[in-house]
Amino acid sequence: MQLRFDDIPDDGLRIEIDGPAWLPTDEFSHSGPVSARVFLERRGKRVFLTGAISVVVVLECDRCVESFMLPQHLEFSIDLELVDKGFLNRAKGEYACKSDEMEVIYLDEPLIDIHDILAQQLLLALPVKRLCTAECRGLCSRCGINRNLQQCRCSEDKRSSPFAVLKKLKS
């Protein structure tokens, strides 16, 4: 869903989105209802966007590779500013942002992609290390069994340490 700056009335624009059309399905799936709401307020060349997302995402555990559900209920706010292409060209490469620029998304055309912003905010909220539980024991590196479901029968590998030679020298 794309929206032009001029489409935002002076008193703001409220958008309710029910359904998964904006979800990045190549990253994860979802379970249950998906809802998002956005409020946009325009002031000159700037748009202030506040929003909320509610969804249950289905992720894959990084340790045991089992699927698990992670409820996400988040709120966010973003400032979007329309700037000339010269500003964006100067900002390419190495550019030190000032503190007031850190929370601003600069656009070279007065077009806001609402679905893209929602997807970005959800992806930023997801954990980097995706674990079904903090106590997840993962898969056995030898036999591949899920150690959360059953005890592995692999023997503890007592490989000799490269420092074992030093222990012999000491005695």
User: Per-domain residue ranges for the chain?
Assistant: 2-138
What are the beta bridge partners of residue 39?
A: 14, 50
Dihedral (C-alpha) 43, 46, 52, 55: value to the nearest 10 degrees? 140
Residue with tokens 């930023």: 124
Q: For 20-31, what is each residue's pLDDT tens digit?
A: 888 888 888 888
Residue with tokens 């036999």: 143
Expressed in angstroms, the distance from the first to the final Cα of the chain is 75
Buried/exposed code over 37-74 (b: 16+ C-beta within 10 A; e: otherwise): bbebebeeeebebebebebebebebebbeeeeebeeee
Q: For 50-102, what is each residue's pLDDT tens digit?
A: 999 999 999 999 999 999 999 999 999 999 998 876 665 665 666 677 777 77
Mean pLDDT computed over 8-21? 91
